[in-house]
Amino acid sequence: MVFSSLLFVFVFLAAAISVYHIMPGIKLKNAWLILTSLVFYAWGGGLYILLLVFCVAVNYLCGNLIIKYRDKKAAKVFLVLSVMICLSLLAVYKYSGLFIATFEDLTSIKTGLTAPMLPIGISFYTFQAMSYTVDVYRGDVKERPTFWQFLMFVSMFPQLIAGPIVRYTDIIDRVADRRVTLIAFSQGLRRFLTGLAKKVLIADYSYTLVSTLLGDGKNLVFTSLLGGMVYYTFYIYFDFSGYSDMAIGMGKMLGFDFPDNFNYPYISDSITEFWRRWHMTLSTFFRDYVYIPLGGNRCGKWRQVFNLLVVWGLTGFWHGASWNFLIWGLYYFLVLVLEKFVWGKLLAKIPEVFRHIYTLLLVFFGWILFYFDDFSALGNAICVLFGAAGAPLSEPAHVTLMLNNLPFFVLAVVCCLPIVPTLKERVMRASVKHPSLNVLQALFTIIYNIIVLFACTAALVGSSYSPFLYFRF
C-alpha cells in the first residue's frame, strides 16, 4: 500500500488511528498497531512478510543471546551473525540481480539465473533491525523489549516502507507507555497532511514534467535536460521528504516521536551542510555504525579519507541496485573530501550567494548521476550537458512547456524554503506577549487542514496509483 492513495487515507489510516485510540491500554494498542502494520505490509502481495518476520526474529534472538553472553566472546559471534544475516538478505533480495547482470556482461556467460523480486522496505527494516543488535551489544538498550514490542518497532507501518530510519533507542521510552496530547495529535495530523501535499500536489506533478522533458533519455536536448533535471531535483526532495513527513506525522498521532529526516536541504551553502540536512537518519546511521567504528577522524588524515570512502560508497550503493548509485556516492565522497581538506576555508570566505549557487550546482549534477541508471544514457546526458553531443540547443515544445509552468516552478521553489519554521519561531516568541497569536495559529491550522485535505483528495482522485520513488530501495 502507498500512503498517497485514497484507500490508504480514507479507509486504512482512518480505521487504524481511530481504533487505536479507542483501544484501552497500551498492550491492546500495541497489538492493534502490529496487526495493522502486518496487514499494511502484506497488502503488496507475496510472502515477503515472512521475510520481514524472519529478519525480526533473527535479530531479536541474537539480541537476547548477546545479552545472555554479555562480556563473553559469544556475544560478538551473535552480533556478527545477525549483521551477516541481514546483509545477506540484502545481497540476495536486493543486489543479486545486479551481480548476476554484471557478471554476465563482463564474462559473456549466460548463467540462466534470475534474481528474486525486491521486497518492499527491505533496505529500511534490515537497517533498523541491525541497529538494534549493535545497540544491544554496545549496551545502549537499557530495557530489553519483548518480542512483540520489537516486532512492533520494526514493522510499524508509518516508517516500515521508506523510513525515516528509526532506531530502537529513539522510541524505547514510548514502547510501553505512550500518551498522545491534543497538541501532539494536531501537530502530527498537520505534518501528515503537509507530507501528503508535498507528494501529491508537488512531487507527482514535477515527475510528469521530468518524464516529458527527459523522455527515454535518448534524444536529449540541452535545455530539456536542464529543465528535466531541475524538476527531478524538486521531485526527489518533495517525494522523499513528503513521505518522511507523513511517516513522522502518523507516528506522532500514535504517540511516537520519530527523528526528522529532512531539514530544507536546498538552502545549504556547502555540500557538507547539505548532508546534514538531507536524509539525516541515513547519514547518522552510517556515521554511528560504520564511520565511528572504523575510527572516524581519530586515526589520522589518510585513515579518515579511507573511512569516508567506505561510508560514501555504501551510502550511494544503498540507494539502489545499480552501479550509477555507487558512482553518485563516490562523487559526494570526492566533493566532501575536497571541502574538508582543500577548499573548505576558501569556501567560507566567498559571499553567501555564491556558496548557495555552488552547492545547488553540485547537487544538481549529483542528481544527473543518480537519475540515469544506464551508463550509456548517463554518458549521453553528460555529453549533452557539456555541449559535446552536437544535439540541438532546445526543443520548442519543451521550452513552451517550461514557460507555461512558471507558476508551478515558483511554488516549488517557495516550498523549498524554511518559511514555515521561521514564521513559527517568530510567532512562538511573540505569543508570549500576545497570547491571541495562539488563537490565530489554531485558526490557521483549521483552514490549512481543510484546504490541504480537499486539494489532496482532489489530486488523488485525479490520479491513479502513485508509487514512491524509493520502492526500489
Q: Does 38 bind another protein (CB under 8 A)?
A: no
352-371 residues in contact with another protein (CB under 8 A) are 371
**How many chain residues are in contact with another protein, going by CB under 8 A?**
78
Give the nearest distance from C-beta 256 to another protein in angstroms: 18
Q: Would you state the cell numbers that stand for residue 268, as one nine-digit string? A: 545549504
| Contact indicator for 318, 332 with CB cutoff of 8 Å | no
| Contact indicator for 148, 118 with CB cutoff of 8 Å | no
44-83 residues in contact with another protein (CB under 8 A) are 44-47
- Measured at the alpha carbon of residue 199, what is the angle toward residues 223 and 284, in degrees to the nearest 5? 95
161-190 residues in contact with another protein (CB under 8 A) are 182-183, 185-186, 189-190
With respect to another protein, which residue has the nearer C-beta, 346 or 432? Answer: 432
Q: Does 28 bind another protein (CB under 8 A)?
A: no
Task: DSSP for 172-186, please give it.
Answer: GGGSS-----HHHHH
Q: Does 454 bind another protein (CB under 8 A)?
A: yes
Task: DSSP for 144-199, please give it.
Answer: PPPHHHHHHHHH-HHHHTT-----HHHHGGGSS-----HHHHHHHHHHHHHHHHII
Candidates 279, 319, 356, 434; catalytic one? 319
- Return d(Cα 74, Cα 79) in angstroms, integer: 9
When binding is defined by CB under 8 A, the residue of 66, 227, 460, 473 that contacts another protein is 460
| Contact indicator for 94, 321 with CB cutoff of 8 Å | yes
Q: Does 116 bind another protein (CB under 8 A)?
A: no
State the residue for C-alpha cell 501528515. Answer: 192
Q: Does 393 bind another protein (CB under 8 A)?
A: no
| Contact indicator for 180, 254 with CB cutoff of 8 Å | yes
Q: Taking the mean position of all CA atoms in its chain, how far away is CA 14?
A: 24
With respect to another protein, which residue has the nearer C-beta, 194 or 268? Answer: 194
Going by C-alpha positions, the residue among 255, 266, 238, 229 that lies closest to residue 4 is 238
Q: Does 350 bind another protein (CB under 8 A)?
A: no
Q: Does 469 bind another protein (CB under 8 A)?
A: yes
Going by C-alpha positions, the residue among 43, 466, 3 that lies closest to residue 235 is 466
| Contact indicator for 270, 355 with CB cutoff of 8 Å | yes
With respect to another protein, which residue has the nearer C-beta, 400 or 422? Answer: 400
Which one of 30-38, 72-80, 83-91, 444-452 is the stretch in contact with another protein (CB under 8 A)? 444-452
When binding is defined by CB under 8 A, the residue of 222, 364, 365, 408 that contacts another protein is 408
- Is-catalytic flag, 356? no
Give the nearest distance from C-beta 93 to another protein in angstroms: 16
Which one of 71-79, 307-315, 350-358, 452-460 is the stretch in contact with another protein (CB under 8 A)? 452-460
Q: Does 438 bind another protein (CB under 8 A)?
A: yes
When binding is defined by CB under 8 A, the residue of 111, 146, 208, 422 that contacts another protein is 208
- Measured at the alpha carbon of residue 82, what is the angle toward residues 80 and 85, in degrees to the nearest 5? 105
Give the nearest distance from C-beta 205 to another protein in angstroms: 6
State the residue for C-alpha cell 544527473. Answer: 368
When binding is defined by CB under 8 A, the residue of 344, 374, 388, 429 that contacts another protein is 374
Q: Does 201 bind another protein (CB under 8 A)?
A: yes
With respect to another protein, which residue has the nearer C-beta, 353 or 447? Answer: 447
With respect to another protein, which residue has the nearer C-beta, 263 or 445? Answer: 445
When binding is defined by CB under 8 A, the residue of 11, 84, 342, 423 that contacts another protein is 11
- Return d(Cα 319, Cα 197) in angstroms, integer: 24
- Return d(Cα 404, Cα 39) in angstroms, integer: 43
Annotated catalytic residues are: 319
